[in-house]
């Protein structure tokens, strides 16, 4: 299964608490922090809901 590399590129300051919680649950803490997750439906849904804050790359 493919993996996703997710980078936080925009601050969560001023965002709704639900968006902040989603970013936090992905494992992103600080600006420009990077995490890797398996590309399953739950992770894709979380990424879609905060797509304006993160950059996503697919890793082979």
For residue range 7-40, what is the model confidence (pLDDT) as tens digits?
Answer: 999 999 999 999 999 999 999 999 999 999 999 9
pLDDT at 60: 79
Cβ-based neighbours of 23, under 8 Å, separated by 6 or more: 8, 12, 15, 50, 53, 54
pLDDT at 47: 98
* pTM (predicted TM-score): 0.93
Q: Is the pLDDT at 1 greater than 90, yes or no?
A: no
Rg for the chain, CA atoms, rounded: 11
pLDDT at 25: 97
């Amino acid at each position: 299964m493919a993996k996703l590399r997710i980078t936080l590129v925009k601050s969560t300051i001023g965002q709704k608490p639900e968006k902040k919680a989603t970013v936090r649950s992905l494992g992103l803490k600080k600006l420009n922090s990077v995490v890797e997750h398996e590309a399953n439906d739950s992770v894709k849904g979380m990424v879609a809901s905060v797509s304006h804050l993160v950059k996503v790359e697919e890793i082979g």
